[in-house]
Amino acid sequence: MIDTVYSMALEMRRMRIPIATSDLVSAMEALTLIDLADRESVRESLATCLSKSRDYRDTFNALFDLYFGGAPIEDGRPLQALDDPALRVLLVTALSHRNRGLLREIAAEAVDRHAKIQPGRAVAGTFYIFRTLRALDGDGLAHDIETADPTPRLADATSLISRAARAERAQSKVSEFERIVESEVRRRLVAERGADDVAVSLRNPLPEDSDFLTASSETIERMSAVIEPLGRTLSRLLLEQQRSATGRRLDIRATIRESLSTGGTPVTLRFLPPQPTKPRLVVIADISGSVASFASFALQLTFAMRSQFSSLRSFVFIDGVDEVTDLIGGSRAITDTNRRINEERRGVWFDGHSDYGHALFSFTENHLSALDNRTTVLILGDARNNYRDSRSDALEQIRARAANVYWLNPERRSVWDDGDSIMREYAEHCDAVVECRTIRQLDAFISALT
């Protein structure tokens, strides 16, 4: 018992919790006055002596559960005994109280578990950072911290300002943790390869040239300034396409007036100007793990285009398909949309592994009415189907009903149809299939619509 208390106290000190020697002596004395078989009595007695501030209580509770929970603890690595959900709960607590010592410990443990660093690879580590944050549900952290914020909720006219301030504080804390994770990954890469080699790989491209599949969440966020004008351009070009495809209607009054000069003979015909309504757009996006960064971009693009189309409906899929138009329309930020999609398991039907065939078939079964001859369909995904049935006939139905179908693939064209990719099968039923790994390539695709 004494050794366990001493080890826990050392760990608390390592996490920058002030514990004097006299506090440790008092804790040992307190244990002589209680029933050691009563776990909660032991907890409260130690907390009184070792956790004298409310700010440290959540950290104390987490460590107490580690050291007195019966799970084996490796020397110097107490967080190993926590499973992922428990580690995330501890992370939210540490972020809420900005306990930087504990945050560094959690970051190191999360990188160990989830980064899957491959020795010898000359990379900047962006994908390792992304893997780590995705495993901890980085998109949902700000919401959880905001919920746990002890600041009193204000009402009436000040409530909006209060919520905005709370959200800003939460996002600031999440950004700080992302920097800690990034620092931990970089530290390990430097230890393996040396600072000079890592520095070369850190030369960041412009946001327009960043690869969606390997871009960090911060880079994806920086793309928003470029995405919004592209959304407006796409709407304008689709409207022009629709205008050129609209049949001309005879303006009878103008034609009759013109014929007065020729004795009533309609030599010159006058036509009404085309008046197409705003185009309709349906976005169907793959949100599986293999294209998670691209999925975040796709949702951000959809979010930016909400006001540019008379009707914009959004669907996400993995092995099933779900409409998320309501989530995008009702969210104040794309991070809220991402969080709810994950929480509600949208797009998952059976095992959560990509199944384009079943997703497309489900779309035709349940959502084909969303399409008409004024609708443009954008499909966003890598067409990697885990060797399952392609159901290309479902895409054929979509193409027969819509005005246009365009497929944007975030992989290099050179790897299409390798392995489980079936891009060629789907390409037969699309107006265009384009490589879309960067903003610059998206811009080129939109420009080509003219």
User: pLDDT tens-digit profile of 302-319?
Assistant: 777 766 676 789 999 999
Q: Domain range holding 182?
A: 82-203
53 and 164 share a domain?
Answer: no
Per-residue pLDDT for 56 more than 80? no
For the segment 254-272, the average pLDDT, to the nearest whole number, is 71
pLDDT category at 195 given cuts 50, 70, 90 is low
pLDDT for 248 equals 61
Residue predicted with more confidence, 107 or 200: 107
- Name the domain count of the chain: 3
Q: Does the residue 100 lie in any domain? A: yes
Residue finishing a domain among 56, 78, 100: 78
Residue finishing a domain among 43, 78, 113: 78
Per-residue pLDDT for 96 more than 60? yes
292 and 437 share a domain?
Answer: yes
288 and 432 share a domain?
Answer: yes
Taking the C-alpha atoms of residue 344 and residue 84, their distance in angstroms, rounded to an integer, is 19
Taking the C-alpha atoms of residue 90 and residue 102, their distance in angstroms, rounded to an integer, is 9
pLDDT for 431 equals 93
Q: Does the residue 265 lie in any domain? A: no
pTM beyond cutoff 0.75: no
Per-residue pLDDT for 75 more than 60? no
Residue finishing a domain among 141, 171, 203: 203
pLDDT for 316 equals 92
144 and 101 share a domain?
Answer: yes
Write the CATH number for 333: 3.40.50.410
Per-residue pLDDT for 264 more than 60? yes
- Do 178 and 145 form a contact (C-beta atoms < 8 A)? no
Strand pairing partners for 384? 421
341 and 440 share a domain?
Answer: yes
385 and 411 share a domain?
Answer: yes
366 and 354 share a domain?
Answer: yes
Q: Give exposure, 5-31, as e/b (b: 16+ Cβ within 10 Å).
A: bebbbebbeebebebeeebbebbeebb
165 and 239 share a domain?
Answer: no
pLDDT category at 366 given cuts 50, 70, 90 is very high
Per-residue pLDDT for 71 more than 50? no
For the segment 376-402, the average pLDDT, to the nearest whole number, is 94
283 φ/ψ angles, rounded to the nearest 5 degrees: -110, 130
pLDDT category at 203 given cuts 50, 70, 90 is very low
Q: Does the residue 218 lie in any domain? A: no
Per-residue pLDDT for 298 more than 50? yes
282 and 147 share a domain?
Answer: no
Taking the C-alpha atoms of residue 393 and residue 401, their distance in angstroms, rounded to an integer, is 13
pLDDT for 407 equals 95
Residue predicted with more confidence, 213 or 357: 357
308 and 400 share a domain?
Answer: yes
301 and 189 share a domain?
Answer: no
Average pLDDT, the chain: 78
